[in-house]
Amino acid sequence: MTPRLVADTGTTNDDPLARRFAFALSMAREAGRLAMRYFRSRDLSISQKGLRDLVTAADHAVDALIRTKIAENFPEDGILTEETAGAISGTTWVIDPIDGTGNFARGIACFAISIAVCVDGVTQIGVVFDPAADEMFAARRGRGAFCNGTPLGVSKTTQLAEATVDAGYSRKAPLPDYVALLARLLDAGCDFVQFGSAARGLAHVAAGRVDGFIEAHLFAWDVLAGLLLVQEASGFSTDFLLTGNWESGQPVLACTPGLSAALTEIA
């Protein structure tokens, strides 16, 4: 029997969010299959949006697939993705078709499809699917976070000297600031990694595999789904405000609550 991906969330007939949640899970898996076909064939047609900011044919194909399916099933909803500008409405889908394109383009199997659904500026649904590992991370606000049917919980770590943090780097932030951040982490005895996918890194925090995630500049499509996973796994995160310009970048910190004070000071 196929395991439930999440706890019972109500019938899809009488709950608009339940319908969208079921659709997001199905869509993430379909998008993952498409992404993996490109990943395995290495037919990527890589181009650059900016300095070291890669985009592949797979990004565009997965983006088009998701946008088309959402428009067909929920025509009243807004859609905002990394690859194409979108319209914002009361209910808006915020999507990164392939988060971790740099890894994807180099044949490194650390990337994810990230799908969030926001209602009046609050994230209600978060789905992060890693097709290479066949891991479906999913959360609904107030209903918990799960990976392939198993409930998620952040780590119990309380000391930086025992912690591992995903310290993401953005070229939109000054390099000296990033180097200084790494120095502060190391001085505190903290190990760091860099997965190259914010969605995947946040999912790792929610699963208790790493203790925190820090990056100085990320966009809504990078993090909204992953931040909900962390929150629903009883983790701490800074607010990623959706007021004003939805496409503006912001710093992100998410971690186990026992490290929130120390990492907030370090970040």
pLDDT tens-place string over residues 46-76 = 555 543 444 578 888 999 999 999 999 999 9
The annotation places the binding site for Mg(2+) at 82, 96, 98-99, 222
pLDDT of residue 5: 47
134 exposed, middle or buried (CB, 10 Å; 0-12, 13-18, 19+)? exposed
192 residue type, one letter:
F
Query: Quick one: three-class SS letters along 179-234?
Result: HHHHHHHHHCCCEEECCCCHHHHHHHHHCCCCCEEEEEEECHHHHHHHHHHHHHCC
2 within some domain: no
22 within some domain: yes
pLDDT of residue 26: 98
pLDDT of residue 240: 84
| β-pair type (53-55, 47-50) | antiparallel
Kindly state whether residues 143 and 183 are assigned to the same domain: no
224 within some domain: yes
Kindly state whether residues 116 and 178 are assigned to the same domain: no
Kindly state whether residues 134 and 111 are assigned to the same domain: yes
The C-alpha atoms of residue 129 and residue 26 are separated, in whole angstroms, by: 10
Kindly state whether residues 177 and 76 are assigned to the same domain: no
pLDDT tens-place string over residues 73-107 = 999 999 999 877 666 778 999 999 999 988 998 89
Question: What is the CATH number for 106?
Answer: 3.30.540.10
Rg of the chain on CA atoms, in Å: 18
pLDDT of residue 133: 97
90 within some domain: yes
Query: Could you give the number of structural domains in the chain?
Result: 2
The H-assigned helical ranges of 42-174 are 57-73, 101-105
103 within some domain: yes
Kindly state whether residues 207 and 125 are assigned to the same domain: no
10 within some domain: no
pLDDT of residue 13: 64
Q: Which of 151, 175, 198 is the last residue of a domain?
A: 151
Kindly state whether residues 121 and 20 are assigned to the same domain: yes
Choose among 148, 141, 152: nearest CA to 209. 152
The C-alpha atoms of residue 4 and residue 65 are separated, in whole angstroms, by: 25
3 within some domain: no
Let me know: does 257 contact 235? Beta carbons within 8 Å. yes
70 within some domain: yes
Which residues, in sequence order, are bridge partners of residue 137?
128, 147
Kindly state whether residues 183 and 238 are assigned to the same domain: yes
> Any long-range contacts for 15-22 (C-beta under 8 Å, 24+ apart)?
16/91, 17/117, 17/119, 17/124, 17/125, 17/140, 20/74, 20/77, 20/91, 20/117, 20/125, 21/117, 21/125, 21/127, 21/138, 21/140
pLDDT of residue 1: 32
pLDDT of residue 51: 38
For the chain, give the longest Cα–Cα distance: 54
The C-alpha atoms of residue 213 and residue 254 are separated, in whole angstroms, by: 5
The annotation places the binding site at 82, 96, 98-99, 222
pLDDT of residue 59: 86
Low-confidence ranges of the chain (pLDDT < 70): 1-13, 43-55, 85-87, 241-247
- In sequence order, what are the residues at sequence separation of 6 or more whose Cβ sits closer than 8 angstroms to the Cβ of residue 222? 82, 96, 99, 114, 198, 199
Which residues, in sequence order, are bridge partners of residue 79?
93
Strands (DSSP E) contained in 74-121 are 78-81, 91-99, 112-119
pLDDT of residue 147: 99
Which domain range does residue 103 map to?
16-151
pLDDT of residue 179: 96
Question: What is the CATH number for 186?
Answer: 3.40.190.80
